[in-house]
Amino acid sequence: MKILIQSILFIIIVGLFAITSDRLSKIEQKESMDGTTSEVQMSDQDFLTQMIEHHQGAIAMAQEAETKSSRQEIRDFAGSIISAQTSEIDQMYAWRKQWFGESEHISMRMGADMPSMAVDLGSADADFDKRFLQAMIAHHEGAIKMANAVLLPTDRADIHNLAKTIINTQTQEIKTMQQWENDWYGK
């Protein structure tokens, strides 16, 4: 009887350890992306919908930069944003249809519940590139926050991997844009 009780306790402890370990590993992975944790969590479905809108905003700003920027670096950077985020949007639409049966087109919402995803960057004047960098840095910071909000609750490896890719890519792009700000405008 003593061995049976010890065996049952052992199984319970191992089970609790496994559950706790899995949850902690997700938290540790999330913390390692940007060094902080967030209490905000997002469902996979909400993440896909909101990130599609968010990417559409980045693409709109990048398209504007392709035509208005006087710097080749900005035009090339804008082209890479358009290419990468268009591909990610296509993948997110496919997942929405596959996982949730949703196939309708998503448009950027403007209003109190959803801040503008794109910014009018103004005319192609001497300050255009500065405005673009400031707006895109803030925009990328928003994408990183959204990606962090889905890391912990998601059980889908595809969503987790996309969120990590967004965090890593856009963190690096922020560093590049901040370096350009410093080099070109002394910030």
Please indicate, yes or no, whether residues 32 and 103 belong to a single structural domain of this protein. no
Please indicate, yes or no, whether residues 16 and 26 belong to a single structural domain of this protein. yes
Q: What is the pLDDT of residues 102-138, one digit of tens each?
A: 888 887 764 434 444 567 788 899 899 999 999 999 9
Please indicate, yes or no, whether residues 21 and 83 belong to a single structural domain of this protein. no
Taking CA atoms, 130 is separated from 54, 68, 76, in Å, by 21, 12, 16
The residues near 50 (Cβ < 8 Å, ≥ 6 apart) are 42, 114, 146
Please indicate, yes or no, whether residues 102 and 169 belong to a single structural domain of this protein. yes
137: domain CATH number?
1.20.1260.10
41-45, 75-79, 144-148: least confident range? 41-45
**First-residue to last-residue Cα distance in the chain:** 73
Please indicate, yes or no, whether residues 31 and 60 belong to a single structural domain of this protein. no
Query: What does the alpha-carbon distance between residue 86 and residue 40 come to, in Å, rounded to a whole number?
Result: 26
Please indicate, yes or no, whether residues 32 and 123 belong to a single structural domain of this protein. no
Please indicate, yes or no, whether residues 63 and 22 belong to a single structural domain of this protein. no
- Give yes or no for residue 162 having a pLDDT over 90: yes
Please indicate, yes or no, whether residues 135 and 46 belong to a single structural domain of this protein. yes
Count of structural domains, the chain: 2
The residues near 32 (Cβ < 8 Å, ≥ 6 apart) are none
Please indicate, yes or no, whether residues 56 and 102 belong to a single structural domain of this protein. yes
Q: What is the pLDDT of residues 57-104, one digit of tens each?
A: 999 999 999 999 999 999 999 999 999 999 999 999 999 999 999 888
Please indicate, yes or no, whether residues 60 and 120 belong to a single structural domain of this protein. yes
Q: Can you give the residue range of the structural domain that contains 10?
A: 1-37
Alpha-helical regions (H) of 124-156: 128-151
The SS3 assignment for 123 reads: coil
Helices (H) and strands (E) in the chain, counts: 5, 0
Please indicate, yes or no, whether residues 94 and 7 belong to a single structural domain of this protein. no
Query: What does the alpha-carbon distance between residue 146 and residue 49 come to, in Å, rounded to a whole number?
Result: 11
Please state the pTM of the whole predicted model: 0.74
Please indicate, yes or no, whether residues 22 and 58 belong to a single structural domain of this protein. no
